[in-house]
């Protein structure tokens, strides 16, 4: 029985070299504990000789009971002018008191002579002395052969000599590193096979790959197929430049594609997506929706043919069962999808269409609206409202009668935006005005001001994000615009869309949908109608406001909440 593949995580060290990724001390401890819970045998905590945060991390880690993880402290070989016992970096590695020390040394003569300013023999002595010093302190020593593949291609014999020096000094794991990330997959496999066969050492061979050529996962798998049983990587592929090998993808590939035993075990990967998203959340980086296995789009089907086939046979367009990695199948609502996509997604959101809404008609409307600039992929709240508006007996919670927006910039004064809106709720009309720091903000404020008299619950609805996209840039300022609004409340959160050649009209469509969606999900409109049923037998015809009194409109109740706007 072959040795299982050991997964070595270096998110807390190499992953933090990603531009824009900064982990606090608390963040590092959270992630380390989560990796321990996941069963990782090795977690590299940082470089204790390089910065105070990592030194504090290892100090606090001493008080943590680790279930499965052997924590590793990372550092370099000694300085060429130092004795091991006098080298600050090596002393910090030992003082970190981790069971594992990972030391990197130079394999490429270009780095030895031009970066370190050492001779080839001095570098071999630096490797041997550093490994021996840490091994004598009772540490398991993992040796990372930095730039090994470039060094091998430049001078094979010298690159092999650096590995012999580390092994002879007491390293039990020799890791071959493609530090620049530029090697092709076939040469990685060939070089690994040659090294293992030539040296024939009783060690655990490892691989550490960067993704500069987009091949980090493939190269890691090729190394495993060539005999490696220690794989280094980072959660979600975080790392410097283009990133490191994505250990999430590698773990799934090893278990589900190659059928190899892994540590942590790959027999149950249902927590894989959650692990990926947890680390992304702690790192404050939006998860990559298109990441293999765990991304929200990894098993999403947008094309109508794909969607229809997947609905009949789940594995028609899926290479593994999404549930095996904690993910799920999704059929995307769009102009490219058909009746099956639409019906599937509607039912996933809890809407029964059969006998209520014709899925084909719903799909036709979506295609028309998307042709006009809408997009329901990122606006599922608008999709749900569309289903609702097609149902018999639909009554909007409010209807926009009209609105006006003024933007004024006079000499010596700041820019001023004012909006007035006239809104009808069950035959009652209110006319309000509000200022804002821009036309959309003024409209939002005026609409909320009008509706607050009817629905005080809207005070709890907050705009989270506002995105504008120009759809046909060749039309310059006359281009059609798409607006996406994400809002949240205690009841729910959702994204809504509006599209128009007028950015104000597009924004107001999305705003109106966001407020109607919040009212629907909170049940506020139902409570209001119930209250009216028991308190009055006829609708009030006029509501006064600071802008005057206006007659109620006898419009049909099933009209959409937002009918249009000034251009």
Structure tokens at 168: 């002879």
pTM for the model: 0.69
C-alpha 468/C-alpha 434 separation (Å) is 23
CB crowding 496-518: b at 16 or more within 10 Å, else e: bbbbbbbbbbbbbbbbbbbbbbb
pLDDT tens sequence across 102-158: 999 999 999 999 999 999 999 999 999 999 999 999 999 999 999 999 999 999 999
Q: Using the predicted structure, report yes or no on whether residue 560 has a pLDDT greater than 60.
A: no
Query: Which CATH number fits the domain 5-267, given the four candidates 3.30.70.580, 3.40.228.10, 3.30.1330.10, 3.20.20.70?
Result: 3.20.20.70
The helix/strand/coil state of 205 is strand
**Beta bridge pairs of residue 263:** 6
Name the 3-class secondary structure at 285.
Answer: coil
Listed by start position, the domains of the chain span: 5-267, 300-389, 399-551
Q: Are 375 and 497 in contact (CB under 8 A)?
A: yes
d(CA 28, CA 64): 13
At 464, the pLDDT band (50, 70, 90 cuts) reads: confident
Specify whether domain 399-551 bears CATH 3.30.2310.20: no
- 355 versus 445: the higher-pLDDT residue is 445
pLDDT higher than 50, residue 539: no
Examine the pLDDT at 558 and tell me if it is beyond 70: no
């Amino acid at each position: 029985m072959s040795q299982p593949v050991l997964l070595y995580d270096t998110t807390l060290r190499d992953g933090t070299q990603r531009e824009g990724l900064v982990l606090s001390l608390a963040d590092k401890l959270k992630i380390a504990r989560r990796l321990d819970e996941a069963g990782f045998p090795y977690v590299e905590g940082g470089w204790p000789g390089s910065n105070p945060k990592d030194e504090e991390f290892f100090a606090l880690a001493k008080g943590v009971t680790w279930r499965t993880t052997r924590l590793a402290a990372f550092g370099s070989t000694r300085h060429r002018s130092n004795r091991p016992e006098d080298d600050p970096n090596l002393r910090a590695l030992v003082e970190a008191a981790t069971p594992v020390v990972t030391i990197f040394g130079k394999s490429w003569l270009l780095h030895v002579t031009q970066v370190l300013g050492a001779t080839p023999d001095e570098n071999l002595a630096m490797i041997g002395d550093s490994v021996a010093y840490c091994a004598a302190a009772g540490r398991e020593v993992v040796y990372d052969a930095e730039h090994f593949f470039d060094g091998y291609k430049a001078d094979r014999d010298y690159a092999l000599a650096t590995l012999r020096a580390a092994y002879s000094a007491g390293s039990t794991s020799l890791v071959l590193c493609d530090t620049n990330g530029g090697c092709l997959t076939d040469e990685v496999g060939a070089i690994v096979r040659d090294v293992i066969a030539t040296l024939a050492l009783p060690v655990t061979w490892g691989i550490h790959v960067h993704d500069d050529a987009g091949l980090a996962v493939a190269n890691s798998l090729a190394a495993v197929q060539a005999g490696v049983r220690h794989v280094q990587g980072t959660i979600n592929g975080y790392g410097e430049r283009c990133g490191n090998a994505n250990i999430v993808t590698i773990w799934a590939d090893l278990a589900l594609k190659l059928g190899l035993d892994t540590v942590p075990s790959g027999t149950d990967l249902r927590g894989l997506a959650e692990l990926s998203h947890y680390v992304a959340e702690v790192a404050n980086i939006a998860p990559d929706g298109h990441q293999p296995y765990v991304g929200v789009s990894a098993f999403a089907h947008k094309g109508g043919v794909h969607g229809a086939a997947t609905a009949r046979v789940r594995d028609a367009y899926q290479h593994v069962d999404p549930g095996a990695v904690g993910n799920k199948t999704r059929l995307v609502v769009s102009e490219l999808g058909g009746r099956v996509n639409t019906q599937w997604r509607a039912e996933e959101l809890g809407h029964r269409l059969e006998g209520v809404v014709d899925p084909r008609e719903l799909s036709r409307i979506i295609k028309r609206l998307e042709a006009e600039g809408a997009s329901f992929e990122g606006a599922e709240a608008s999709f749900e409202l569309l289903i609702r508006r097609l149902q018999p007996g639909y009554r909007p919670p409010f209807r926009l009668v009209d609105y006006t927006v003024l933007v004024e910039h006079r000499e010596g004064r700041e820019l001023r935006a004012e909006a007035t809106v006239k809104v009808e709720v069950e035959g009652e009309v209110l006319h309000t005005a509000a200022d804002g720091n821009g036309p959309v903000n003024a409209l939002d404020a005026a609409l909320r001001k009008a509706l607050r008299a009817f629905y005080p619950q809207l005070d709890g609805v907050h705009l989270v994000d506002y995105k504008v996209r120009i759809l046909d840039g060749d039309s310059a300022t006359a281009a059609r615009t798409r607006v996406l609004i994400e809002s949240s409340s205690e009841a729910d959160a959702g994204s809504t869309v509006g599209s128009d050649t007028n950015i104000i009209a597009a924004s107001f469509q999305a705003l109106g949908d966001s407020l109607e969606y919040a009212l629907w999900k909170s049940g506020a409109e139902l409570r209001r109608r119930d209250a009216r049923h028991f308190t009055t037998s006829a609708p009030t015809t006029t509501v006064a406001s600071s802008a005057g009194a206006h007659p109620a409109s006898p419009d049909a109740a099933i009209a959409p909440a937002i009918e249009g706007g000034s251009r």
